[in-house]
A and B are shown apart, each in its own frame.
Chain A
Amino acid sequence: MNKEEITFQYLLHLGDNSLILGQRIAEWCGHGPILEQDIALTNISLDLFGESRNIYQYAAQLKGDNHTEDSLAFLRDVLEFKNVLLVEQPNIDWAYTICRQFFFDTFHFYLQHELLKSKDERIVEIANKAIKESAYHLKWSSEWMIRLGDGTEISHQKIQNAVNDLWEFTGELFIPSEIETLAYQSGIGADLNNIKQLWHEKVKAILDEATIQIPTNDFFQKGGKNGIHSEHLGFVLAEMQYLQRVHPGAEW
């Protein structure tokens, strides 16, 4: 695989995570538990879409052949999506949404820091832009973890359940795909091992403060990075891509 192809595939890993999580949390818009928090969550969704667009624009440029940010987002099928399983999990309720967000935000935040060391200038530029946003996302979701964990008995139970259920999707964040290994070796991508340790420290600190038990199971689901997803992603894409599929080639 040449360097351009490695970069392209690596960008899909990055962009797909942000796109799919952005899409998931956009489902909340208009239905949030508190008006101010509806707005806050929408802000995060907007940031993630913005980041994925920057990434896809660069990827499309590398790929040539009339690729665009939209062809990458709307004309690839499930097997070609590289996002981790965590981000495609359904919203279920505020506790699951916050927990999924917190696990991802922690990863995303340290990932941006690692990517600042990339030899690829465009990747550095994109990370540099996203890093302030991810710091804010992490602050927001950390505060909610603590609020729910240390709130009422009901909220404590709900967030503990969410942590228990989503835990099995956290391991995949740090198990490198072949592309991630190649990208790291060629100086483009991040060292997931570095992030793993920082992630665990941060998650432990916040869960402790939130009085939430850290799950002890260490069996982790994986596959998303190689296009082997949960059943959820097909529906996310069917909904997201429907207009592009029904009206091929139309301009909007």
Chain B
Amino acid sequence: MEINLEDIFQNKIDNEVKIEPRDWMPEKYRKTLIRQISQHAHSEIVGMLPEGNWITRAPNLRRKVALLAKVQDEAGHGLYLYSAAETLGMTRDEMYNELHTGKAKYSSIFNYPTLSWADMGAIGWLVDGAAIMNQVPLCRTSYGPYARAMVRVCKEESFHQRQGYEIMMSLCNGTPEQKTMAQDALNRWWWPSIMMFGPNDDNSPNSAQSMKWKIKRFSNDELRQKFIDVTIPQAELLGLTVPDKDLKWNEARGHYDFGIINWDEFNNVVAGNGPCNKQRLKARVDAWNNGEWVRDAANAYAQKRKNRVKSGQQAA
């Protein structure tokens, strides 16, 4: 009887058995995962920049420490995810290279500028909030190392989301200027956050295969709807207006209806024409290039130590 590796593989997936690094897997599954996990890792690292922009300007010491710790968490997420992607046979340096040469993408949301302190609130609340919607199902994704990385990531993301919402709450309970700041931040971050779930389902070419492999468990539109449904009451509680005139509760569907998404804008930002694409990439490339002599020094020193230990052993 002939045993088909692909059948065994799909069987495991259907039975919710995790795929591990040494298991056989279709080449396309491996490639899809490397692409997705490395893009996710890049998003964490590039995602440090818009919020990093406000660390030195945070309005008080408590907020400063919380923001700094949050941005540091994102660095940690990047680390877990690069490690998970490395188990599929691509090194971190190779992944960096793809980011720096523009071959690999990262989440487009980070190509928008942070213009006021309220953006720290809006990002935590909406961007981390949308990330959680996307990521909680990934805790059960079929590839073991990815799923385990996501369990750690998700715990911290929900903390970030609460922290962001709390910043919004303080602003909305504050002076008229602060409330204006909060509304302005919501106006600018709402639609980009909605776009974080990706193209509509009928326009999402890779989704079906990813669902079959249980890399993905919900469609883009399902997740987007879920996000909108939980976020609207939160905005109402803040006393802020979501910038969508078509937004209304649909009793029959049991969901909010919402306006048409500006996919031209989305595609433009993905194509590199967002307000901060160039600055974000430049910041990463500069950090890498300026750090080269540091990494060289660390490697050279480690090598010298190894040699000294070796020659010490030979002498003994």
If A45-B68, A147-B301 touch, does A30 touch B56 (CB 8 Å cutoff)?
no
Q: How far is the CA of A252 from the CA of B175 in the complex (A)?
A: 10
Interface string of B35-69 (1 = CB under 8 A from A): 00000000001001100100111111111110011
Interface string of A215-252 (1 = CB under 8 A from B): 00000000000000000000000011011100100111
Asked if A52 lies at the interface with its beta carbon under 8 angstroms from chain B, I say: yes
- Which chain B residues (58-91) contact chain A, with CB distance < 8 Å? 58-65, 68-69, 71-72, 75-76, 78-79, 82
Asked if A1 lies at the interface with its beta carbon under 8 angstroms from chain B, I say: no
User: Given the complex, which residues of B lie within 8 Å of A207, measured CB to CB?
Assistant: none
- Which chain A residues (37-63) contact chain B, with CB distance < 8 Å? 37-39, 42-43, 45-46, 49-50, 52-53, 56
Q: How far is the CA of A26 from the CA of B66 in the complex (A)?
A: 12
User: Given the complex, which residues of A lie within 8 Å of B252, measured CB to CB?
Assistant: none
If A33-B290, A150-B301, A151-B301 touch, does A26 touch B48 (CB 8 Å cutoff)?
no
Asked if B8 lies at the interface with its beta carbon under 8 angstroms from chain A, I say: no
The answer on a CB contact under 8 Å between A50 and B296 is no
Most A Cβ at <10 Å: residue of B52, B60, B174, B296: B60
Asked if A27 lies at the interface with its beta carbon under 8 angstroms from chain B, I say: yes
Asked if A169 lies at the interface with its beta carbon under 8 angstroms from chain B, I say: no
Most A Cβ at <10 Å: residue of B59, B60, B76, B294: B294
B contact residues, total (Cβ < 8 Å): 48
The answer on a CB contact under 8 Å between A94 and B65 is no
If A94-B291, A239-B57, A243-B59 touch, does A155 touch B177 (CB 8 Å cutoff)?
no
If A93-B290, A242-B57, A243-B117 touch, does A33 touch B301 (CB 8 Å cutoff)?
no
If A247-B175, A250-B174 touch, does A42 touch B297 (CB 8 Å cutoff)?
no
Size band of the A side of the interface? 35 or more
- Which chain A residues (67-96) contact chain B, with CB distance < 8 Å? 69-70, 73-74, 93-94
Chain A residue with Cβ nearest B51: A30
- Which chain B residues (264-316) contact chain A, with CB distance < 8 Å? 283, 286-287, 290-298, 300-301, 304
Chain A residue with Cβ nearest B293: A154
Q: How far is the CA of A50 from the CA of B56 in the complex (A)?
A: 15
Asked if B219 lies at the interface with its beta carbon under 8 angstroms from chain A, I say: no
Q: How far is the CA of A170 from the CA of B69 in the complex (A)?
A: 30
Chain B residue with Cβ nearest A94: B294
The answer on a CB contact under 8 Å between B117 and A252 is yes
Q: How far is the CA of A36 from the CA of B294 in the complex (A)?
A: 13
The answer on a CB contact under 8 Å between B296 and A247 is no
The answer on a CB contact under 8 Å between A70 and B60 is yes
Chain A residue with Cβ nearest B299: A151
The answer on a CB contact under 8 Å between B55 and A26 is yes
Contact of B300 among A73, A151, A240, A251 (CB under 8 A): A151
User: Given the complex, which residues of B lie within 8 Å of A70, measured CB to CB?
Assistant: 60-61
Chain B residue with Cβ nearest A19: B61
Asked if B10 lies at the interface with its beta carbon under 8 angstroms from chain A, I say: no
Asked if A32 lies at the interface with its beta carbon under 8 angstroms from chain B, I say: yes
User: Given the complex, which residues of B lie within 8 Å of A31, measured CB to CB?
Assistant: 52, 283, 286-287
Sample 10 A-B pairs with CB under 8 A, ordered by A number.
Answer: A27-B56, A29-B52, A32-B291, A53-B65, A94-B294, A151-B301, A155-B297, A158-B293, A242-B57, A252-B170
- Interface residues of B, Cβ cutoff 8 Å to A: 45, 48-49, 52, 55-65, 68-69, 71-72, 75-76, 78-79, 82, 117, 167, 170-171, 173-175, 177-178, 283, 286-287, 290-298, 300-301, 304
Given contacts A147-B301, A247-B178, 10 further A-B contacts (CB under 8 A): A26-B68, A29-B48, A30-B287, A39-B79, A49-B61, A50-B65, A52-B61, A73-B61, A244-B60, A247-B177
Top 3 closest pairs, chain A to chain B, by CB:
A33-B291, A151-B297, A155-B297
